[in-house]
Structure formats: structure tokens, C-alpha cells
Copies of this chain bind each other. A is one copy, B any other.
Amino acid sequence: MKTEREVKIRQVEIRDAFWTPMQKKVLDVVIPYQEKVLRDEIPDVEKSHAIENFRIAAGLSKGEFYGMVFQDSDVAKWLEAVACALALRPDPALEERADEIIEIIEKAQQPDGYLNTYFTIKEPEHRWQNLYECHELYCAGHMMEAAAAYAEVTGKEKLLHVMEKMADHVIDRFGLEEGKEHGIPGHQEVEIGLMKLYRATGKEKYKDMARYFLEERGKNPDYFYEEKLKRNWQYWEPYSTERMDVSYNQAHKTVYEQDEAVGHAVRALYMYTAMADLAGTDGDERLFGACRRLWENIVEKKLYITGGLGGNPEREAFAGNYELPNDMAYAETCASIAMVFFAHRMLEACVDGCYADMIERELYNGTISGMQLDGKSYFYVNPLECVPGVSGKAFGYRHALPVRPGWYACACCPPNLVRMITSLGKYCWGENDSTIYSHLMIGQKAELEKAEIIVETAYPWKGETAYIISPKTREAFTLAIHIPYYVDFSKEAAEITVNGERVDAPALMKKGYVYLTRKWQVQDRVEIHFPMEVRKIYANQQVRENAGCVALMRGPVVYCFEETDNGAGLQSLRIPGELKAEANFCREGILKGNVLLEIEGFRMKGDGELYSEKPPVKEKQRLTAIPYYAWANRGENEMRVWVPEE
């Protein structure tokens, strides 16, 4: 079961009560704001200079390079976001401005294909000497993604040609062949870019190069160390001959030998994404096995319930197995987005509901928690517990801010969110010769090869979804619909009907998908109904931080408790053993439209002593839980996902 055709953003028009407003917000607020930042038109935020760097490198302007060594990638990410935006809603003025920027990029490219403004402007003699720290391949990877997206949506191939030239330059320089360097990127990403370039151009050499970078990695764990000794300088720190810990960027073992997700989470997940893409594309079982081992380590031992990834804030990294601190979590927005990419590539390689479930977990929780409801401010770090006065301030907690700031010097998460939200359609479907796979229950109109399908749904708030099918073929084909893991068709209330007739859902289920095969007729209607119950979730006993606690979920949505609704001292709340919860739409205020939970719970009250033999008494308290992703939208206040059970 492999989906063979990538679905394009253009094929899908999202018409969804949850996602359409979010897409609109991203188009109306975020993309224009980011453009202004890149053009240095916004006062009081960290200067970007990213477009100006390209102008200087192109000889169109005079000046010095300014910004991070990977500043170019901000332009790449924005261009990719623009491509996705244009797929959703034409905007000739925006497209013209993007075209102009692409022309500057083309002029900034060197005659040999090399493209990177930092080295071109500042240290041309040091090109390619510091793969470990200097992100040349990383920036190239993002620009390849932008080029592929821009070509797909607008049909314009200028940037694609620029990046082909750059990719050819990279291929000339690195590889196993005689005379080439055995280089690998310090920050993985070019592998994803090369796979997209391969798909956009059909040229195998780009896929081969992606395979080279993936398979070369970790063969010589001292590669970066030897590179450093050879070059005699460092970018971020004073030069030292100390050996580096290359598990940080997953270069400690070959990808086939790695069986634990370690190091910088985003680097890791970008690598796993490319591995899964290549495994699926080439039908490479061995590589898929490597992906699967890493996947299992993550989902069994290193994943926050919100989909957050990275329990070690120091290096934005995975922590040890079961080390999932709530208040000190890193759980970078970009890591959750990268997990969507990884899960999507796994799903393409092997249709299994566990991957679609992961995309859902990320989409409704740990990714969009990164954005304020108004689209104007962003979290990098998505903790599962917030304590004003400690979070963002105290030792060990400075990274875990209690409210979303407006912008960051290292602006990776906001544009990453933009491209995920605008390209949502891509994650909804898979298709091959026999089957259409519906991965996500999102309201939309989709133009697939075998059918046009309209999806109407109240998901994630209600388990009621209808698929209205207009086939484009008279042949029978299969519609395989992903059923979320928590739905139980052995219960009476859950059912699937086709044109009003109930089908034997359990019998038709395989690995999280219900397979409906027939000669579909125009206006055939599949309905899926299931009760949306509040679920009490227990963490593995090895997770220290969640001992004695439970979290609440309803559908794919993880809930949290905020001080605003429940008073201070959330640790003294108790979820009752016998849970009675009401789920109600919020009718007013910033949370309007979200389903909130009301629970008859308790609050423990002590005698006021710091230490006492007197047990605290239990007082009834009506508790309110809100969707986790919407936390910190009502000012700085306490928040907690895991609450002690009575």
C-alpha cells in the first residue's frame, strides 16, 4: 500500500470551519508581515536585511552582509510560503514582488552556480570550508523547496533553474566519485530540497544526491572534526581542536545504525523526512526500516502528548527516553511541523493510520500552538506547563516564555507555520492506481485523479463527516478513509454509511483505514459518525513528570487548564476518577468557536503550613479546560496539561 501521486495544493480547496479562518489569517496577516520584516520596513523588530543581502551579492546595492550565516533561508521560506499562498488565492501584486526577488536571487548566483550571500559578500575564500557550522547546504535546501513550490504553483521556472544550477554545483563538488569531497551538511535540509527538485524536474541525479547525503552521513563520525582541523577556524566560537559531539546533528552513526532519536530535533526530523521520502520513492525497504526504528523510538518514548518534540532545551534537542519535562520542555514549533513532514512521507511509503494520527496530533496541537489566535505573535517553545514568574525567567526556564513574542532574530518557526497551514491540502490525500486515500477529516473540495470529492465535516469538534463523491471514471475504485485511532466501531454510536446504508465498518478496517470499494456514482455519499467523548489519558509510568497525573483529550485535541478559568495553583486541582465532562462551544471572547470542557473536579486545600501531617481537604470545583493550542491568548497566566488525578 503505497500512494504514488503527490497531491498538489492546487487540487484542494479547504472549506473548513477550523482551518479556513486560519488560512485566511496566514494570508492576510502573516505573509505581509513577514515580507515587511524581510524588507526592513518594520521598526522595533530585529533587523532582517535578508533581501538586501541578496541585492548586495547581486551587485545591485552596496553594503555589508548583515544577519545570521543562514539569513538567506528566511527569503527562501517566505518565497515557499508565497507559492503556497498563491495556490490558495491569486494575488498578482504579491506574485510580481516575488518575481522581482527571484530576479535578484538569480543575479546573486555566481557563474559556477554557487548561491549564498554570506560567503559571496563576506568571505568568498571560505566557501564550503565549514559545512558543520555554516549552513550553505541548508540554505540551498530551503531555496530548492521554494523553487519547486513556486514552479508548481505559478508555472514560472526561473528560480527552479537557479537551484538546478546550484544543485549541479553541489553535485560537482560532493560525492563518492574520485576527486569529490565526502561532505555532508551540518544542518540537514538539502536532502528534502533535492527530493523536491527531483520531483519538480524528474532528474534522477537530484534524488541520487539526496541518497548520497543520507548514506554518507555517519560513515565517518569524525568527518566534521577532520574538516575543522583542516580549516583552522570556527564560525560561532573561538577555534579549538576539541572533538565535537556529532550525535547533536545525527552524524554519529549511519542512518541505518541509528535507532534512537537524538540531538537537535529539527535537524533529526528533517533528515528522517528525507529518508522516508527516498524510501517511499525508491521502494527501499532497508531505508524504510531505518525510518521505522526511529519513528518507534519517538512515538514510544520521546513524544509529548501535544506532539511536541525535544525535552532538552539546551540544544533544542531530544532528551533521554521518557524524559519529557512539562515546564522545561523545548517542543519547538518547527520540530512539530517537521514531524508532519516525516509522518506524511511515512504515509506515502506505507499507508498506516498511525502516521495520519500523528499528522492530526500535530496539526491540532503542537504546531498551531506556536501562533497567537490573531496570527501576530509566535512561540518557538511550546511547554506543557507554564508558571508566571518562573517560565521565561528562572534558571532552566528562560526558553519557555509565558506569552508569545512578536518576532525572533532567528525567524524559523513563523514561516514554517505559514507553509504548513497554506499547504494543508497536500496532507489530506494520497492516491494510487486503485485507491484514493483520505488521511484527514478536513472540510474541502478536492480534485483528485479519479474523482472530485467534497468533504463536509464538523471535525475536530464533532465526529460527523460526509464525503460526497463525483467519480471521473466508470471503473470501480477504492476510497480508503482514515479513521482516527480513538474511534471504536464496535460501539453502537459509531457508524459508517454509504448513501444512508450502514456498512460493516470493523470488517472493512485495515491499519486505521476503512476501505470502501465500488463503482462510485455521482453524488454518492459516505458518512462517518462517531461520538466525540472526552478521554482521560495516562502517561507511561516511566515518565517522571506525569506521575499520578492525567491529561484530557477530545478527538485529536489535547486540552489544558489555565489560571484564567480555574484560579491560581493549578497543581492543587484534581481530575476525578469517574470523569464527568461537558463539552460546549465557547460563544464569546477570543476562544469563540472552540469547544471547551467543563468538569466537576476538585481543589485540594491544605492548612497553610509548608509541611503538615494534616491531609489536605478536597473541595468541589467546576473546572474548565481549553484546547492546548489556544493557551496564552488571554494574557500571562498559569497553564497545565497534566493534572493530578483524584
- Please give the residue numbers on chain A whose beta carbons come within 8 Å of chain B beta carbons, in ascending order: 299-301, 303, 305, 312-315, 319-320, 323, 328, 387, 389-390, 394-396, 486, 535-544, 547-549, 551, 569, 571-572, 604-606, 608-616, 644
Contacts and interface: CB of A to CB of B under 8 A. Distances in A.
A610 B395 contact: no
A613 B552 CA distance: 10
A424 to B, nearest CB: 25
Contact of A300 (B535, B551, B610): B610
A390 B541 contact: no
A597 to B, nearest CB: 16
7 contacts: A299-B610, A537-B611, A538-B611, A538-B612, A539-B606, A542-B572, A547-B548
Given A548-B644, A644-B548, A541 B395 contact: no
B387 A544 contact: yes
Contacts of A606: 538-541
Contacts of A611: 305, 537-540, 551
A323 to B, nearest CB: 6
Contacts of A539: 606, 610-611
A616 to B, nearest CB: 6
Q: Tell me the dominant secondary structure on chain A's binding face.
A: loop
B394 A396 contact: no
A606 to B, nearest CB: 5
Contacts of A315: 395
B604 A541 contact: yes
A612 B394 contact: no
B323 A610 contact: no
Report the 3 A-B pairs with minimum CB-CB distance, sorted nearest first.
A314-B395, A547-B571, A396-B396
A551 B395 CA distance: 26
Contact of A320 (B299, B319, B389, B605): B389
Contacts of A535: 613
Given A313-B395, A610-B301, A390 B605 contact: no
A320 B389 CA distance: 8
A548 B642 CA distance: 12
A278 B303 CA distance: 56
